[in-house]
Amino acid sequence: MARIDILLYAEDPSAANYAVLLLPAFARRGWSACLYAAAVARDWLHARGVEFVETAADADAHSLLRAIDPRCVLAGTAANPATLGLRLIDAAHDLGIPSAAFVDALMGAANRFRGTTDDPLAHAPDTLLVPDSVTIEAFVRLGYPRERIFVCGHPQYDQTRALAVQWAGDGGSLGLRRRVFPEVDENRRIVAFISEGAPRFRRIPGRTLTDFGFEGRGIDKGRTKIILEEILDAAAGLAEKPYLVLRTHPTEQPGDYAEYNSEIDRISSDASPLELVYGADLTIGMTSMLLLEAALLGRPTLAVLAGRSEIGHLPSVRNGVTPYVLNRIDLRAMLPALLNKGGNSVAQETSRLLVSGAADRVIEAIEGLIGGGGEGDTQL
């Protein structure tokens, strides 16, 4: 097997998605690339029929790199502080292999390369690929060299932009709604709620029920379920109850929300999340990428946040495209107002907030690490 140009590694679904969207651009550039994945990313990739190389999360990073001998390691970050991705970056440093990591969002900058240490840059790569200039500043404040950070946007932004144009030409949100929600009367409003993963966010970081603006039904079940309960109760108090869809996180199963089966009209886990939010009248979330994508598609959105510190996490929230609430009183006031507003046109406004051409920008950054040539055929 010829030496490959790029070894990509993903452990979380968001990182897997980012990596998969880069592969066609790498092939067009003439670079060989091989995607390795472990943990939850493996299930995500299998479900979508993507070819990749399975590896154990506890694999020896040095042995893996010696066997493959890539020209560059490109790793996604993960919620797991002991992720193989960080060990691959460290091993690449030891073996003299250039390394880069793609960061998909501002949140958690201080923890992405900390690992199990107290140093937020303990396992930082040679180059960082970030979505926007705000994320640059977050890493510069941590001590990462500004000149080694590249604003690339996100390949998912570009894919979502293209879908927005396509679907607008195919009948818009009403046409897609009829296909995705054929069981719902056209006069009934549809609300999509995006989970951030109940198992991953069992408690509100740094907060308790007494200082969080939402209490749910009085039992601390973790952030996602607390917010879900607030939305269910707010929706139940409306004159016309909307059709409520819960979109589960890739780390969850529909059964994780069985206690709410009598109150939720649909739990979605397999269908296209973008089609779901495009067909909905309102998408409610916290700080997830899908909430930003709903705004990028031109659909009404609402962010339910744990505190003012989260306002800056999503570009559409910090720039005022996506309104936000910090407590149940504002949620109950905002919900009917947004539902009565109906469809809006914020796709262009949101798009202006986000850098485009992510794949080309990533390629340019990697060229600075390995030069322009490629050495093999693309492998998946």
DSSP for 257-299 reads GGGGTTT-SEEESSS-HHHHHHHSSEEEESS-HHHHHHHHTT-
Identical fold for domains 6-154+355-370 and 157-352, yes or no, is: yes
- The reported pTM is 0.87
Predicted local confidence at residue 341, as pLDDT: 65
CATH code for residues 6-154+355-370: 3.40.50.2000
pLDDT in tens, 12-45: 999 999 999 999 999 999 999 999 999 999 999 9
Domain boundaries, the chain: 6-154+355-370, 157-352
pLDDT in tens, 110-155: 999 999 999 999 999 999 999 999 999 999 999 999 999 999 999 9
Kindly indicate the confidence band of residue 372, based on its pLDDT and cuts at 50, 70 and 90. Answer: low
Helix, strand, or coil (residue 183): coil
Predicted local confidence at residue 347, as pLDDT: 66
**In whole angstroms, what separates CA 144 from the centre of its chain?**
23
Helix, strand, or coil (residue 102): strand
d(CA 13, CA 2): 29
Predicted local confidence at residue 331, as pLDDT: 95
Q: Average pLDDT, stretch 344-356? A: 74
What's the token pair of residue 117?
């240490």
Question: Which residues does residue 74 pair with via DSSP β-bridges, in sequence order?
Answer: 8, 100
Average pLDDT, the chain: 89
CB 102, CB 151: distance < 8 Å:
no
| Residues near 219 by beta carbon (within 8 Å), at least 6 away in sequence | none
Predicted local confidence at residue 250, as pLDDT: 84
Phi, psi dihedral angles at 271 (to 5 degrees): -70, 170
d(CA 129, CA 148): 9
CA dihedral for 145, 97, 42, 158, sign (positive or negative) = positive
Predicted local confidence at residue 377, as pLDDT: 33
What is the per-residue burial (b if ≥16 Cβ within 10 Å, else e) of 255-280? Answer: ebbeeeeebbbbbbbeeebbbbbbbb
Helix, strand, or coil (residue 243): strand
Query: What is the CATH architecture assignment of 157-352?
Result: 3-Layer(aba) Sandwich (3.40)
**In whole angstroms, what separates CA 78 from the centre of its chain?**
11
User: Helices 358-370 and 13-29, interaxial angle, to 10°?
Assistant: 70
- Beta strand 72-76 with 6-10 is parallel
Alpha-helical runs (H) found in the chain: 13-29, 40-47, 61-68, 84-95, 133-142, 155-169, 172-180, 223-236, 273-279, 289-296, 315-318, 328-341, 347-352, 358-370
The more confident residue out of 135 and 209 is 135
Kindly indicate the confidence band of residue 213, based on its pLDDT and cuts at 50, 70 and 90. Answer: confident
Q: Average pLDDT, stretch 302-319? A: 90
Percentage of residues of the chain with pLDDT beyond 70:
91
Predicted local confidence at residue 206, as pLDDT: 46
Predicted local confidence at residue 349, as pLDDT: 73
Predicted local confidence at residue 201, as pLDDT: 44
Percentage of residues of the chain with pLDDT beyond 90:
71
Reply yes or no on whether the pLDDT at 299 is more than 50. Answer: yes
What's the token pair of residue 233?
């109760």
Q: Average pLDDT, stretch 219-247? A: 91
Predicted local confidence at residue 352, as pLDDT: 78
